[in-house]
Amino acid sequence: MCGIAGYIGKKEGLETVLEGLKRVEYRGYDSAGVLFFQNGKPVLVKRQGKLANLERVLRGTVTKGKGSTQGINIGTGTIGHTRWATHGMPDEINAHPHHDCKKEIFLVHNGIIENHQELKDKLTKLGHKFRSQTDTEVVVHLLEENLKKIKNFDKTLKKSLREIVGAYAFAIVYTKEPDKIYFARLGSPLVLGLGIEEFYLASDPAELAGKVKKVIYLKDGQAGWISGTDFKLNPVKSKIENLNLTAEQAQKGNFPHFMLKEIFEEPEAIRTAMRGRLFPKKDLVKLGGLESVAQKLKKIEKIEIIACGTSYHAGLLGELLFEEVAGISTKTIEASEYRYRQNAITPNTAHLFISQSGETADTIAALWKANRQKGITLGLVNVVGSTIARETKAGVYNHAGLEIGVASTKAFISQVTILNLIALYLSENKSLKRKLSEELALIPKKIELILKQNRQIKSLAKKYLKFKNFMFIGRKYNYPTAIEGALKLKEISYVHAEGKTAGELKHGPIALIEPNFPTVALVNKNSVYEKMLSNLQEIKARKGKIIAIATSGDKKIAGLADDVIFVPKTLEPLEPLLNIVPLQLFAYHFGTLLGYDVDKPRNLAKSVTVE
Ligand code: M6R
């Protein structure tokens, strides 16, 4: 949560930082702020609301239009922030950067300072005046207080970090050293971009796409500074890595929203997930990232999948796949629950952590717990170099490319593809393996056919736009898909959408069904098709409207459903990869037709790095 951008070097910092912030606005967008130097003096500008509000005021008062320098100092530190409120209202005072009493130290923060109240009480007694309700402000006053005695900013930062309890990524400008930006990381992501005569700080590598080729993913406990010509890092041991992201990947291209672009990238996301890993003709699945634990995996008797949100829904599909395809008993647990549960420690258990960002606080805490219990920990992560990717013993990367829309779409499809690959990798059932592998290879083409129905799905969304409640139902593999479809609709359209197993409907939820409460039913021709038809009869009997996702060629469904979206025939375990696509498009059009910014839904952030 929250986006950080910092720049120092040969270019003008303000434009560069604003560009960086634009790419991480999805991390938080309730307020934004920047600190830069103009005519030798520090200038702080903050605004409530989206980044565009901040840009508007900067263009009007400071830069007099895009690209105009107006005395902005080159080679001095510029820092910026987009906020997702945790402590205090999303207003201008609570927006970052925060400063000390003398306005000499300016700081942006991502994370949570857990002992902020204790520090605030102590510093207030010493005479410090607090302006905001944030946990962050305490840090600038702590630095100010410690600097009085230590007199050296580098050492002051080190001492202050020892007094802070919590999670943080900091970028700090001390105005007496305008040619430096100090930084520190513990528990919240921060990347150092290494250019030629320029250095960047970013909370997400997406900010650096097309700008630098080399990066250092900071580790927990690292701190240091960047200047226009050099950097210092403590502890020094760090790997300089290549950044393989292009500027195009961080842009919308011809699409009106990232969400739509990312849905249309799904066939490619699946192909990339399978490339060099799935060899249907040789009955072979190669997962290089699992090689180091291959022997241990042969002996596992149980798998626990741990994740949040959409990744958790992918996990539920993984559970069905691991049990059916690999014959391994599997349980999926929400990370926020797992971290506090008194779990039985069982031998030969593998823990699989699924996360697009690799930085979700609950999932990381759950991973630490599993690591402490000495379990085999595996990661299924999209963002390369992220915390979960680094701290699991082994794992598989999605390689789905950047996902910027807050609503996860192509990452889900990619996660489900890789869960299929892992199930095949662990399976000893040769005939099932062959059948599934061959069909999996055909899925991208089948999704392309569904994407051609985009217009028709938009019309359907228009038709149902007046409804405020939706039920989503499915059985077996279609249950996780149903709850994921419901999550998509609620998070970007703000309508109530409930996902249920179709069999559970009659145990309570059916009480809700009436003409104004439509049901989206996943009714493919599979092992539970007839059961689903019975459920639809029950809904019809209560005058409920039905939108069905059904298998092409199904003639029976038209008699029961009010509207049908057909998807190509596939094997039952692979149906989610097809069914989720119309549900994502339905949610997308529903949200945009209602006039919402679906890439930045209210109250949400892409990467939930706080508990
Ligand atoms: O980055 P992660 O996959 O760990 O994120 C988990 C959830 O926060 C995320 O999937 C969230 O539910 C999305 N808003 C879903 O669209």
Choose the residue to mutate in 360, 364, 489, 604 for probing ligand 1, maximizing ligand atoms within 8 Å of C-beta. Answer: 360
Does the pLDDT value for residue 64 go beyond 70?
no
- Of the pLDDT bands very low, low, confident and very high (cuts 50, 70, 90), residue 281 is confident
**Same domain assignment for residues 210 and 122:** yes
**Same domain assignment for residues 165 and 229:** yes
For 139-201, give the secondary structure using H, E and C: HHHHHHHHHHHHCCHHHHHHHHHHHCCEEEEEEEEECCCCCCEEEEEEECCCEEEECCCEEEE
- The mean pLDDT of 294-307, rounded to a whole number, is 95
Question: How confident is the model at residue 436, as a pLDDT?
Answer: 94
Question: How confident is the model at residue 28, as a pLDDT?
Answer: 66
584 lines ligand 1 (CB under 6 A): no
Q: Pick the residue whose CA is nearest to atom 8 on ligand 1.
A: 309
Catalytic center residues: 2, 606
Is 413 exposed, middle or buried (CB count within 10 Å of its CB: 0-12, 13-18, 19+)? buried
DSSP state of 416: H
**Same domain assignment for residues 476 and 337:** no
Contact status, residue 181 vs residue 198, Cβ threshold 8 Å: no
**Same domain assignment for residues 92 and 236:** yes
Q: Which domain holds residue 573?
A: 451-605
- Of the pLDDT bands very low, low, confident and very high (cuts 50, 70, 90), residue 423 is very high
- Note whether residue 306 is domain-resident: yes
Question: How confident is the model at residue 245, as a pLDDT?
Answer: 76
- Of the pLDDT bands very low, low, confident and very high (cuts 50, 70, 90), residue 220 is confident
**Same domain assignment for residues 430 and 470:** no
437 lines ligand 1 (CB under 6 A): no
Does the pLDDT value for residue 347 go beyond 90?
no
- Radius of gyration in angstroms for the set of CA atoms belonging to the chain, rounded to a whole number: 25
- Note whether residue 9 is domain-resident: yes
Does the pLDDT value for residue 224 go beyond 80?
yes
Domain edge (last residue) among 441, 476, 496: 441
pLDDT tens track for 39-51 = 889 999 999 988 8
What is the atom index within ligand 1 of the atom nearest the CA of 357? 1
Per the structure, the count of domains in the chain is 3
491 lines ligand 1 (CB under 6 A): yes
Q: Which residue has the higher pLDDT, 384 or 132?
A: 132
CA of 412 to the centre of ligand 1 (A): 9
Does the pLDDT value for residue 62 go beyond 60?
yes
485 lines ligand 1 (CB under 6 A): no
Q: In angstroms, rounded to a whole number, what is the distance separating the alpha carbons of residues 427 and 289? A: 17
Contact status, residue 223 vs residue 182, Cβ threshold 8 Å: yes
- Of the pLDDT bands very low, low, confident and very high (cuts 50, 70, 90), residue 68 is low
Angle, alpha carbons 354-355-359 (nearest 5°):
135
Q: In angstroms, rounded to a whole number, what is the distance separating the alpha carbons of residues 474 and 267? A: 24
357 lines ligand 1 (CB under 6 A): yes
Does the pLDDT value for residue 374 go beyond 90?
no
Q: Which amino acid makes up residue 175?
A: T
Which sign, positive or negative, has the C-alpha torsion 51, 56, 60, 64? positive
**Same domain assignment for residues 126 and 176:** yes
Domain edge (last residue) among 214, 229, 249: 249
387 lines ligand 1 (CB under 6 A): no
Question: How confident is the model at residue 54, as a pLDDT?
Answer: 92
CA of 607 to the centre of ligand 1 (A): 7
Choose the residue to mutate in 356, 363, 367, 415 for probing ligand 1, maximizing ligand atoms within 8 Å of C-beta. Answer: 356
Q: Supply the CATH number for residue 316's domain.
A: 3.40.50.10490
Say whether 595 sits in a helix, a strand or coil.
coil
Range from 8-12, 30-34, 160-164, 278-282 carrying the lowest mean pLDDT: 278-282
Contact status, residue 174 vs residue 104, Cβ threshold 8 Å: yes
pLDDT tens track for 5-37 = 999 999 889 999 999 998 877 766 788 999 999
- Of the pLDDT bands very low, low, confident and very high (cuts 50, 70, 90), residue 65 is low
Half-sphere exposure of 119 (CA within 13 A, CB side): 25
- Note whether residue 326 is domain-resident: yes
398 lines ligand 1 (CB under 6 A): no
- Of the pLDDT bands very low, low, confident and very high (cuts 50, 70, 90), residue 69 is low
Domain edge (last residue) among 249, 277, 309: 249
577 lines ligand 1 (CB under 6 A): no
Contact status, residue 213 vs residue 242, Cβ threshold 8 Å: yes
**Same domain assignment for residues 160 and 304:** no
Question: How confident is the model at residue 12, as a pLDDT?
Answer: 85
Does the pLDDT value for residue 450 go beyond 90?
yes
- The total of other beta-carbon atoms located within 10 Å of residue 327's CB is 13
Helix axes 575-593, 454-463, angle to 10 degrees: 50
Question: How confident is the model at residue 267, as a pLDDT?
Answer: 96
**Same domain assignment for residues 462 and 587:** yes
Q: Which residue has the higher pLDDT, 98 or 236?
A: 98
pLDDT tens track for 525-564 = 999 999 999 999 999 999 999 999 999 999 999 889 999 9
- Note whether residue 610 is domain-resident: no
Does the pLDDT value for residue 63 go beyond 80?
no
Contact status, residue 32 vs residue 18, Cβ threshold 8 Å: no
**Same domain assignment for residues 298 and 370:** yes
- Torsion of Cα atoms, 58 then 9 then 151 then 154, to 10°: 110
**Same domain assignment for residues 395 and 496:** no
Helix, strand and coil percent figures for the chain, each rounded to 5: 40, 25, 35
Tokens of 389: 């990717």
- Note whether residue 153 is domain-resident: yes
Q: Pick the residue whose CA is nearest to atom 9 on ligand 1.
A: 309
Angle, alpha carbons 249-18-27 (nearest 5°):
60
**Same domain assignment for residues 258 and 245:** no
- Note whether residue 611 is domain-resident: no
Q: In angstroms, rounded to a whole number, what is the distance separating the alpha carbons of residues 167 and 186? A: 5
Does the pLDDT value for residue 90 go beyond 80?
no
- Note whether residue 446 is domain-resident: no
CA of 604 to the centre of ligand 1 (A): 10
- Note whether residue 258 is domain-resident: yes
Tokens of 604: 């949400």
**Same domain assignment for residues 257 and 219:** no
Does the pLDDT value for residue 184 go beyond 90?
yes
Question: How confident is the model at residue 201, as a pLDDT?
Answer: 97
**Quick one: what percent of the chain has pLDDT higher than 90?**
74
Q: Pick the residue whose CA is nearest to atom 11 on ligand 1.
A: 309
CA of 388 to the centre of ligand 1 (A): 14
Nearest Cα neighbor of 302 from 334, 346, 354 is 346
